[in-house]
Amino acid sequence: MPELEYFVVAESHSIDRDTGALSIFNIFSELRPEEFPFPFPMLMMISSWVSSDDEIARQDNVQVGIRIRVPGKPDEGPFHTNFTCGTRFQNLVLGYEGLAIDAPGMIEVELFLNNEHKARHRIYVETREGD
């Protein structure tokens, strides 16, 4: 199976048209909304995978899954997509829109490869100071 190089959840990203370089903007670690419920901005879940020579030669096909946990709500997902190990590095970008946060707490976004847990990204949602 390909190895996970990194996994982050961010507000947005860009892929350079000429070089293919990936830029990631505003990685989420904590949020302090003015009020609840809070419509969460777009979540961009970005992972980078490294494939071996054998995986590339075989053109292995793998499944990536994402599950989003928000306190007090049912889990969102798992959502699945597949990729083929055709190159050494494979960047995978999945977007999710429409997550509503009703109260402070910790959001967990989990990443799976072929149903095996690989990583977790946490986002802490807190009330603003003085509220």
H, E, C per residue of the chain: CCEEEEEEEEEEEEECCCCCCEEEEEECCEECCCCCCEECCCEEEEEEEECCHHHHHHCCEEEEEEEEECCCCCCEEEEEEEEECCCCEEEEEEEECCCEECCCEEEEEEEEECCEEEEEEEEEECCCCCC
Give tens-digit pLDDT for 107-128. 999 999 999 999 999 999 998 7
32 part of a folded domain = yes
Q: Could you tell me the two tokens for 125?
A: 């949602």
**Residues linked to residue 102 through DSSP beta bridges, in sequence order:** none
131 part of a folded domain = no
105 part of a folded domain = yes
71 pLDDT exceeds 90? no
CATH code for position 55: 2.60.40.2560
This prediction's pTM: 0.90
Q: How far is CA 42 from CA 13, 28, 98, 103, in A?
A: 11, 11, 7, 18
Structural domain count, the chain: 1
- What's the CA gap between 55 and 62, in Å, rounded? 10
The arithmetic mean of pLDDT across residues 66-75, rounded, is 91
